[in-house]
Structure 1
């Protein structure tokens, strides 16, 4: 694994030790950023279930100004910190060991708002729709924010969720990427 493009291009990223984390492949990462970028002029990114931190590190390398990365696994948190240090992006990131739903509540209390969110929970956890609703209820998404979900290709996410409209889906073997966009000015149910 490596940073594909931007200021930290080519820098290698460490994997989380053990079998508990499924890192996003460089091929999928490149495809995601061709769909949502490929580069950014500032903005804030949230990476829930961050694993190695590869997606948000890529976003920072491509121009996002700040990232919040969360994961519950201590080995993942240690790996994220090492990868941020190796890419020279530590000063642009906050890293927290926390459950995703608790992290969303804490970020909402801080009145944070994100332009890009990565959701990549373990495939066995079927909580994506719930997390999307919590992002909306917590006012954590800026107008036009994009939410990128990495999930099992067998799962389908094609319906709008509140003010989030479905934009695109792409499959890469047993992995699928679904992208939602926060529709500016739309009313949020709930």
Structure 2
């Protein structure tokens, strides 16, 4: 795919640095155009907080979050090639000391991370054929893995329609980039007053 090796950090303290795509065609990197549009929606810059990049691939989304002001990021991918690429990209961008890379199945990683402090940004970008996004978002909600002002970002095939509500989480925006790629954003609804 033309241009897949020309990914960059779009903005923030590592702006312009090149990052590699995962070798082969098993991973589908989020394009720079989609990444830029997405971060314009969720907040161009962050004042601290943790990011979680699930199905991380090259680590582009988590690296972008770090560059824009997140304190730390956890990257999760089951693929050996992906984990190697993430580590290389973190070294290139000098972000290794603010990162953890886990080579694990996402379900296993979520169970482990559920005992830690909640995350401000959670990226879910699974292979389109293997989407279990609603279940994964429900798990995150049930285990309080998202901060009160946090956002869950789900990248998925455009034919997938995620529910408007999952537990206390509500869709705040649906972005469609093509007939193939869409992104759904969730955040906590305002707590309803108890009568």
TM-score by length of 2: 0.92
Q: What is the root-mean-square deviation of aligned Cα atoms in Å?
A: 1.3
Q: Which residue of 1 aligns with 2:3?
A: none
Secondary structure, aligned partner of 1:80: helix
Structure 2 regions of 5+ residues with no counterpart? 1-6
Aligned to 1:29: 35
After TM superposition, the structure 1 = structure 2 runs for residues 9-88 of structure 1, keeping only pairs within 5 Å, are 9-88=15-94
Following superposition of structure 1 onto structure 2, how do residues 26-175 of structure 1 map, counting pairs within 5 Å? 26-109=32-115, 111-173=116-178, 174-175=180-181
Contact 2:169 2:186 in 1 (8 A): yes
SS at match of 1:38: coil
Contact kept? 1:143, 1:184, Cα under 8 Å: no
On the 8 A contact 1:2/1:11 being kept in 2, the answer is: yes
Q: Give structure 1 stretches of 5+ with no counterpart.
A: none
Q: 1:11 to 1:131 in 2, by over 3 A?
A: same
More divergent stretch after superposition (177-186 vs 141-150): 177-186
The 10-residue stretch of structure 1 (54-63 or 170-179) with the greater mean CA deviation from structure 2 = 170-179
* Structure 1: distance between partners of 2:101 and 2:159: 31
Q: Name the SS of the counterpart of 2:102 in structure 1.
A: strand
Using the alignment, how far apart are the partners of 1:10 and 1:65 within structure 2?
A: 20
May I ask how many residue pairs the two structures share in their alignment?
A: 186
Q: Is the Cα–Cα contact under 8 Å of residues 143 and 185 in structure 1 kept in the other structure?
A: no
Q: Cα gap change, 1:18/1:179 in structure 2, threshold over 3 Å: closer, same or farther?
A: same
Moved runs in structure 1, 4+ residues, more than 4 A?
none
In the TM superposition, what is the alpha-carbon distance from 1:141 to its structure 2 partner? 1.0
**8 Å contact from structure 1 (residues 167, 179) kept in 2:** yes
